[in-house]
Amino acid sequence: MITPGGSRLRALREYLGKTQLQVEIEAELGLGYLQRIESGKVRHPERDTLERILTALGAQYTERRDILEMFGYAVDTPLPLEPEIEWAIASCQSELETAVFPAYLLDCAHRVLAWNAFFIKLFGPIGLSHPYCLSVLKMLFDPRYSVTPLIANPDIFFPAQIRALRYEMRWFRSETWYEALIDEMLAECPLFRHYWLDSLAQQQSYLVAARPLVSFELNVPHAGLLRFRLTSEPFAQDRRFRVIYYIPADAPTITQCIAWQ
């Protein structure tokens, strides 16, 4: 009987356009062994065998994690490595460049990895001279980055950001880097600590992030009050990465984005 893991492995292989024989050769498997895994005749392959198969397929993080978990193997969520970051940047570069409003790429640690020209127009070149050093959490919650005082609806926007953060980080709460990230924000950003602890005190849990429900309102020098709806689009192949889009929420903001072109 076909197992969920075998079915998912076969679907991934077919999606990537590889034959069973190709994968078996690259993964150094016996002839027909992959077919036995996919069909469910081998229900519990060794983890090393699965890892070799996934490497031969060129599977990305989330694809690897999902399949390994289907076969009963626990998988950690490490911070992305340099090659993975470069892959993510290359994968979304065209989307960032063709967007006609601010957009940027984040990793799971909330580091800004890539951005478009509209992002610079909105926020300026804050902390972007050193790759992967700008934390979007600090950019929004730490007044030293000069963005926080410009936020026009803080009592509405910040709780919404905490809600989205807690929901989107649900996959990573057992990771040591997640604990270090939150501890650092609590220690260095009193504003973050206020809203984070307030959310915990209310014992809130969320089924969705609901980012677009609350607008991001910013008093931009030389542009006036601009309003955006934020959306988060995670990578299907690696959910440690996602693109944040700032969708103009009113006519003046649309007009300003057109002027920035």
Q: Taking the model in full, what pTM does it have? A: 0.85
The domain defined by 82-260 folds into Beta-Lactamase (3.30.450)
Q: Where in the chain is the domain with CATH 1.10.260.40?
A: 4-70
pLDDT tens for the chain, residues 1 to 261: 788 999 999 999 999 999 999 999 999 999 999 999 999 999 999 999 999 999 999 999 999 999 999 999 988 899 999 999 999 999 999 999 999 999 999 999 999 999 999 999 999 877 666 666 789 999 999 999 999 999 999 999 999 999 999 999 988 988 999 999 999 999 999 999 999 999 888 876 777 878 889 999 999 999 999 999 999 999 989 999 999 999 999 999 999 999 999
Residues 6+ apart with CB under 8 A from 178: 169, 172
Q: Where in the chain is the domain with CATH 3.30.450.180?
A: 82-260
Sheet order of strands, 224-234 included = 112-115, 103-107, 241-248, 224-234, 215-220
Q: Output the CATH code of domain 4-70.
A: 1.10.260.40
